Structures are given as structure tokens and as C-alpha cells.
Amino acid sequence: MPELTEAIARLNGVLGKPGYFTETYCVTSRYFQPANGERVDAIRDLIESDYRGSWLYEPLIASLLLATDKVDSTTGMQMAYLKTWSKRSYNDINLLVPDLLDGAGLALQADALDAVKHLPEVQLAYLDPPYNQHRYFANYHIWETLVRWDEPSTYGIANKRLDVRTKDHRSAFNSKPAMPLALRELVADVKAETVVLSYNNESWLSREELLDICSAKGHVEIIDVDFKRYVGSQIGVYNKAGERVGEPGAKRNTEHVVIAGEKSMVQRLMQALPQD
């Protein structure tokens, strides 16, 4: 894709120019070094002015987002930033040509409970619902702004988008009372021969409840995968003044991967997985 490669090279040659992104996420907060913030401002402005309406628009934004993620000063999520600059924040932003899949695709911004009722049947559906009350929209609010490029009003030390507070972005999956019924409804309504569901052992549903919910699709198997916990959970709990008020939690957790569907297909999938 020479056209995409040329566009990436052009963007990598753009000089920084301070704007909204720099002021909001590098000056009044410390998510990124100002020099990198200025590059983001200049590159994103150029993408908007010269590539909007082109097939290059989305891949270029994706490349910028991935490059910016590599020079942040956080523990991963954007609920807060580090008190001192991370080592990687001193690196320069460098856009790479993103890997693209051949063929057509479809991306939806919709309520999953509504969307599954209108989507056609598929061979396999992968479901990855939120684990708790924290919404992805709030946890990664800077990426929302980088994509929309809408210069939103912000609030708090974390400079979150003001619309994070609105009800429009709240989901039944972020509510402990509503989540079990919502997930049961989603699994029942999704039109797929096989359903794969990923869920965390630190969330609201037990392993047994997950198996029961997914049994609506037929035969059920479950794989428990051991993971190192998110790094933010290993540094303790701090209050708004930066004072440590709690100890780190467990260092490992378990990801439950449930496979449900016609028995022979589920068994074939299980046999194809690495046995270690």
C-alpha cells in the first residue's frame, strides 16, 4: 500500500505546533511530554484537513493513536497520570504503517443489546463485556478525543471529557444489579453458531454463573487463563493528594474463556487449542 506508506512518511516529517491537545494533556495535566503533544496537534490537524473523506483517514488516525500510546506517562488507563515522567514519555512519536486486514468489515457504535437483534447470523461471536463499573469511554477518554478531534470541555485533575458524566455513555454492563440479566439477554440473542465469552474472575459473576448463562447456546466448555494483573493494581491505592491509603492487591488473576455452541464444534475448538 504505497499510498498509505507515503502518507505515514509525510506525517512523520511534520513539525510540532501547540494546540488543544498540548494544553489539555501536556500542560494542565501530564499525560505526555509537551514536545510530543505538539506533534499530535500538528499531525492530527493535517489528517483532518488533508485526508478526511479518503480511505486513508481511519488508518492514519489509528497509526497516530498507536504511536501516541507508546509515549504516554500512565500505568495504562487514563484515570490518572504518573507523578514523575515515565521513561518512555521521553521518546519521540513515530508513526508506523498499521497492519490492515483484507476484505470488508463493519464497525458499529451501538448498544450491544440492541445491535445483536439486527445483525445477521455469523459462525462465531466473541463477547468481551466490561468487568465492573468503570467504562472504557472514561478509562480511555484521551483516545476518544484524539479520534473525534472535537476539543471538549474537561473536568478534574485527569482532564476527562465533560460528556463522560452524561447518561448517554452508561451501560447496563457497568451496573452490578443490571449486568447479569443484560449478559444473559445478550448471549441468548446473539445469532452465532459458536459464542466465545471472555470474563475476569475479579468481576461480578462467578465461574458457575458464566457457565449457566452460556449454556443457552448449547454445549459449554471453559478455559481458565492465568494473567499478570494490570500494572496499576500493583502500586497501591492513593488519594487525590497523592498519599498512599491502601496496599497493592493480588499480582495475578484469572481470565475465564467460555466456548458455547454445538457440541462437536466446541470440542473441535478445544482440541485445537494449545494443551499447556
- pLDDT tens, 178-231? 999 999 999 999 999 999 999 988 888 999 999 999 999 999 999 998 877 655
- Output 142-147 pairs: Cβ under 8 A, ≥24 positions apart: 142/25, 142/31, 142/78, 143/65, 143/69, 143/78, 145/21, 145/24, 146/21, 146/40, 146/44, 146/61, 146/64, 146/65, 146/68, 147/61, 147/65
> Is the same domain home to 188 and 142?
no
Model pLDDT, residue 249: 61
Confidence of residue 126 (pLDDT cuts 50, 70, 90): very high
pLDDT (average), residues 95-116: 91
Whether residue 180 is contained in a domain is answered as yes
Model pLDDT, residue 240: 55
Whether residue 238 is contained in a domain is answered as yes
Whether residue 148 is contained in a domain is answered as yes
> Is the same domain home to 165 and 32?
yes
- Give the three-class secondary structure for 228: strand
| In contact, 31 and 69? CB cutoff 8 Å | no
> Is the same domain home to 1 and 73?
yes
Last residue of a domain, one of 169, 193, 217: 169
> Is the same domain home to 24 and 149?
yes
The pTM of the full predicted model, rounded to 2 decimals, is: 0.84
Whether residue 234 is contained in a domain is answered as yes
> Is the same domain home to 49 and 162?
yes
> Is the same domain home to 94 and 116?
no
Model pLDDT, residue 276: 63
Model pLDDT, residue 198: 94
> Is the same domain home to 126 and 36?
no
pLDDT (average), residues 226-253: 62
Model pLDDT, residue 30: 97
Residue from 77, 97, 67 nearest 31 by CA: 77
Whether residue 47 is contained in a domain is answered as yes
Whether residue 214 is contained in a domain is answered as yes
> Is the same domain home to 118 and 2?
no
pLDDT (average), residues 74-95: 94
Q: Does the structure show a pLDDT above 70 at 41? A: yes
Whether residue 107 is contained in a domain is answered as no
Whether residue 106 is contained in a domain is answered as no
Model pLDDT, residue 168: 78
Number of domains in the chain: 2
> Is the same domain home to 54 and 186?
no
Structural domain boundaries enclosing 199: 112-133+172-272
Last residue of a domain, one of 150, 169, 188: 169
pLDDT (average), residues 84-89: 96
> Is the same domain home to 50 and 63?
yes
pLDDT tens profile 42-71? 999 999 999 999 999 999 999 999 999 999
Model pLDDT, residue 233: 52
Confidence of residue 236 (pLDDT cuts 50, 70, 90): low
Residue from 18, 15, 24, 17 nearest 142 by CA: 24
> Is the same domain home to 142 and 97?
yes
Q: Rounded mean pLDDT of the chain?
A: 91
> Is the same domain home to 151 and 255?
no
Model pLDDT, residue 201: 82
